[in-house]
């Protein structure tokens, strides 16, 4: 596998995290991250690449017409990780830049890169899943950056904001799914859920560490 895998943490003005993983023969060779002013800044940067093969985004890439908009992915994470279950809120209660900017960038990006692999990400719950600790970037930035360096096998990764960190771990989710290390996909339909699913940009994934599969 060769190309670029991106990560995007949608936010308001001055709070749009973007990560880029440069992949050669299946390995991460270089990592970049920045915090963009707007979603358009992120999109402009992504469209500079003609080898963008995947992206992980902290946004709802799949919707549900069921009660409160709950999806099987949300309920699975809440049940599996009760310590951080409050981080997984009812989709119908979400609003603002996370939902709007995330989906806006993906819709635009799909117009130019129709075959790009898209995975949803949940950085704060994923951090807990991988470490057993609660996410605390403000006080643990150095340690969290060190963890990224270990996971990516790229030395001296340094982030300037939690938006960049979230974008990097979102890109990591896409990478792990695309190389086949994480085979669990929280967007895999369950019985009775398919009729409620809405896929506004077609098929997407929600890759999760396979060793943490629920029963």
Per-residue pLDDT tens over the stretch 165-182: 999 999 999 999 999 999
Q: What is the spatial distance between Cα 90 and Cα 78, in angstroms, rounded to a whole number?
A: 11
Reported as a pLDDT band with limits 50, 70 and 90, residue 213 is: very low
The helix or strand, by DSSP H or E, that contains position 32, with its residue range, turns out to be strand 27-36
Q: What is the mean pLDDT of residues 80-85?
A: 92
Question: Are 54 and 5 within 8 A, CB to CB?
Answer: yes
pLDDT value of residue 94: 85
pLDDT tier for residue 214 given thresholds of 50, 70 and 90: very low
Dihedral-angle region of residue 201 (phi above 0 means left; psi in -120 to 50 means alpha; beta otherwise): alpha
Model confidence pLDDT, tens digit, residues 121-160: 999 999 999 999 999 999 999 999 999 999 999 999 999 9
% of residues, the chain, pLDDT over 70: 97
Match 């970049």 to its residue by tokens: 32
pLDDT of residue 170: 98
- pLDDT score, position 96: 84
Taking alpha carbons only, the member of 64, 55, 110 closest to residue 91 is 64
Residue 201: domain span? 3-212
Dist. CA 81–CA 148, nearest whole Å: 21
| Percentage above 90 pLDDT, the chain | 88
Cα distances (angstroms) measured from residue 201 to each of 44, 80, 121: 19, 28, 16
Whether the predicted pLDDT of 215 surpasses 50: no
Burial of 152 (0-12, 13-18, 19+ CB in 10 A): buried
The H or E element spanning position 34 is: strand 27-36
Q: Are 98 and 59 in contact (CB under 8 A)?
A: yes
Residue 26 has pLDDT above 90, yes or no: yes
At 191, the pLDDT band (50, 70, 90 cuts) reads low
pLDDT for residue 184: 94
Provide the CATH number for the domain around residue 60.
Answer: 3.30.420
Number of domains in the chain: 1
For 66-92, what is the mean pLDDT?
Answer: 92
Q: What is the pLDDT of residues 40-78, one digit of tens each?
A: 999 999 999 999 999 999 999 999 999 999 999 999 999
- Residue 190's φ and ψ, nearest 5 degrees, are -105, 165
């Amino acid at each position: 596998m060769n190309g670029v895998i991106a990560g995007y943490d949608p936010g308001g003005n001055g709070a749009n995290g973007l990560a880029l993983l440069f992949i050669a023969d299946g390995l991460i060779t270089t990592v970049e991250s920045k915090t963009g002013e707007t979603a358009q800044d992120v999109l402009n940067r992504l469209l500079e690449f003609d080898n963008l093969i995947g992206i992980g985004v902290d946004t709802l890439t799949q919707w549900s017409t069921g009660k409160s908009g709950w999806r099987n992915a949300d309920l699975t994470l809440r049940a599996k990780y009760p310590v951080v279950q409050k981080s997984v809120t009812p989709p119908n209660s979400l609003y603002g830049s996370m939902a709007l900017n995330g989906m806006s960038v993906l819709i635009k990006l799909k117009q130019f890169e129709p075959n790009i692999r898209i995975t949803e990400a949940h950085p704060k719950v994923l951090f807990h899943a991988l470490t057993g600790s609660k996410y605390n970037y403000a006080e643990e930035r150095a340690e969290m950056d060190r963890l990224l360096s270990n996971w990516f096998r790229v030395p001296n990764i340094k982030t300037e904001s939690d938006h960049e960190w979230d974008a990097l771990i979102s890109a990591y989710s896409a990478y792990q799914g695309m190389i086949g290390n994480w085979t669990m996909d929280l967007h895999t339909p369950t019985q009775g859920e398919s009729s409620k699913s809405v896929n506004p940009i077609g098929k997407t994934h929600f890759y999760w560490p396979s060793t943490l599969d629920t029963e």
